[in-house]
Structure formats: C-alpha cells, structure tokens
Amino acid sequence: MEGIKMHIKHWKKIASIASFGVHFYLWETGSFTALTLNEIHDLSNNLFSISATLIGFIFAVIAILVTITENPLIKKMRKNGMYSEIIDHLGYLIAGFSITMLLSYISLLFSGEYLHYLLICTSFIFMYSMIMLITDMFRRLKLTFRNLK
C-alpha cells in the first residue's frame, strides 16, 4: 500500500472530458432542448433522489473510516497523508452531489426556457461526480478495505 500513489489528477481530467463530451453531444443534438417541462422535472427529481442517496452512502463510508482509526493500516495511512486525502475527496463528492441536489431542487421550482441550461449544468456536475465516485474513490476505498487486517 505504501508504494501506491493515489493521485486524483488523471481521474479529474477523464471525468471532465467525459462529462463535457457527453453533454456537448446532448446539447448539439438538441436532446436537452427537446425535453418537456414534465420530463425536466422528472429528471431533476431523479437526480435529486440519487444524489441524496449517494451522500448518505458517502457519510456511511466516512463513519466506517472514522471507527477503524486504530487499525494499523489506517494509522499508517494517517501518517503518510493518504487517510486525509481519502476523507478530503469524499468531501468533494459530497459537495458535488449537494450542488446537484440544490440545482435539481431549483429546477423543480421553476419553469421556462432557461430551465434547459440549468438541467445541463446539473447533469454535468452529477455525471462528473459519478465518474469520480465510480473510478477514483472506488479504487481508493477498495485498496484501503482490502488491506485491512
């Protein structure tokens, strides 16, 4: 575990490019502008619910990490900074999903032609956060939990 560097910089680039590419394609093809108000509200409601659930999951992971602080591996991770790096990046995910929730909630309150712009921003942030959760954080947590003894 010591020799493994957990740099996030590559995953940030991959998540940004993938999210931008997908959303640029969806915007160019008119997929977002073709959505009705009810479809936008349904999508916003789903993004809100999924984000809230994932925030709960992330808090549960943080609670597990906090309760196993006496484990020798966690002590070693605290010394070399990897523990705080994991906690920090879990915090970034909470922030991303919280922003998604906030924007989704705002989308549910309003109607109008500008709602499509809000939806694309919300969807971009959600997709970026999901990619970071699935790739980078899953890898970090998998390495951590596999090495617990």
101-148: pLDDT as tens digits: 999 999 999 988 789 999 999 999 999 999 998 887 777 777 777 776
Nearest Cα to 6, choosing from 142, 146, 148? 142
- pLDDT tens profile 34-77: 999 999 999 999 999 999 999 999 999 889 888 887 888 778 88
Q: 83: Cβ–Cβ under 8 A, 6 or more apart, which residues?
A: 65, 74, 77
User: Which single residue is written with the structure tokens 């523990």?
Assistant: 83
Average pLDDT score, the chain: 87
User: Any idea of the CA torsion for 42, 43, 45, 47, to the nearest 10 degrees?
Assistant: 170
pTM: 0.84
Domain boundaries along the sequence of the chain: 9-146
Pairwise CA distance, residues 137 & 126, whole Å: 15
Q: Which amino acid is at 37?
A: L
- Name the pLDDT band for 22 (thresholds 50, 70, 90): very high
pLDDT at position 83: 82
